[in-house]
Structure 1
Amino acid sequence: MGSHYSIGIQQEDDSFLMPLSSKIPHPLLHIDLQVRWVSSLNRDIILDSLNRSISDRRDVFLSEGNARNIIHSLIADFGLSQKFVDTVVVPYIFLYVQNADFRPTNRGRQVIVLRIKIRVVMSPADEIGDLVDESMANSVRFKPASKSSIEALERVH
């Protein structure tokens, strides 16, 4: 039994709506990405969470090749299934950006801000393996301090 994924995208209503200025010469796209791994036994329990943001020119992002590269660089080390990224995440985000760029309410916006949330429901086997790995990593191996390092400590009264 493998992990299950879900993805949601929302455009922030407070995206900047003003004429382009010399400060921002091109319309931008800003993406806030959050990936959460949740327990299959209780989906309210968050096992891990990663966040990352990226901003780029919208015209660069509207090229499918560029969008694919940007999205891959954004989530490259998040440990998501490559198949899920290539068949769901990349096309879904790319289509959403295309639609957002052509939406009449976004005409004149300097920055479109998208919040993307990916939720990974861990399979029970993966969850147990991660808990064991975490437990082993957190095992503390104490090494006694040497006599010279103890004598070198500053005494505070």
Structure 2
Amino acid sequence: MAPSTIYQYHMRQDFSTNVDSNNSTAPTTDAIIIHLQFSHVLELCYPETIQIPLNTTNESHLFPRQLFSSHVNRESIVKEILSSMGCSSDFIESAAPDISSFALDMVTNPCNASSSEVLTMVLAIHVTTPYDEREEIDRALSESLMQEASRFKPASKSCIDGLKRMSLEGSCSMKECMVCLEEFLMGSEVVCLPCGHIFHGDCIVRWLETSHLCPLCRFAMP
């Protein structure tokens, strides 16, 4: 089974980027900015660990503080932000309550509630999707070994004992036994498999005691 995508996140209040609402360029008063720092990497685990960036996003979302006083509103806001980043539904459902609770704590904190500044909450999300090439290699090897095991399963004794033996006479499209690679001699005993291919009797018996497949067309004997 392939490794699952790993989500890591943390929140903090950024005091260094707060906007003074008395400043004429301030977007609004009593507001909160959620600054999203999102990164998604593909982690190759074989032959060495390498991280390949897939997506890096830095964006800010401005909301009135009062929206976060409502449980339904604040979770809806957080879920919409996470969904826009393509986060999995499982992660969204598990992380949204925690993230929205942190935002609520920020806007209701007495120190922040009395402040005229626009609050800034930093939400950092790091997503790692592992890709273990060894697993793909091991899977391919396992399938190959299973195929080889199937190939070298011997034919049943009753099948071998019931082989149709005949004397080679007249013209034959096959000039040599493909097991021993020796030419067929007129009048020699040969065995014809159900698929129509002809071999020396002793040669094909030894072959079928090892593999139940025709050496030429891989027709499967019982």
TM normalised by structure 2 equals 0.48
Q: Deviations over 1:78-116 (max 9, x none)?
A: 22111111111x112111112112333323133110111
1:43 to 1:50, Cα distance in 2 relative to 1, 3 A: farther
What amino acid is the match of 1:121? T
1:97 to 1:2, Cα distance in 2 relative to 1, 3 A: same
2:36 to 33, 36, 40: 33
In structure 2, the residue matched to 1:143 is none
What amino acid is the match of 2:34? I
Which consecutive unaligned segments of at least 5 residues does structure 1 have? Answer: 126-157
1:18 deviates by 6.1
Greater RCO (CA < 8 Å, at least 6 residues apart): 1
In structure 2, the residue matched to 1:131 is none
* SS of corresponding position for 1:123: strand
1:66 deviates by 0.8
1:2 to 1:67, Cα distance in 2 relative to 1, 3 A: same
1:13 deviates by 0.9
In structure 2, the residue matched to 1:59 is 66
Distance 2:88 2:5 in 1: 9
1:20 deviates by 10
1:102 to 1:61, Cα distance in 2 relative to 1, 3 A: closer
What amino acid is the match of 2:92? V
Q: Deviations over 1:107-132 (max 9, x none)?
A: 3133110111100011216xxxxxxx
* SS of corresponding position for 2:37: strand
What amino acid is the match of 1:63? S
Name which one, 1 or 2, has greater alpha-carbon Rg: 2
Distance 1:112 1:43 in 2: 37
* SS of corresponding position for 2:19: coil
What is the RMSD of the two structures over their aligned residues, measured on CA atoms?
Answer: 2.7
The runs of at least 4 aligned residues of structure 1 exceeding 4 Å deviation read 17-21, 23-26, 42-45
Identity between Structure 1 and Structure 2 (%): 22
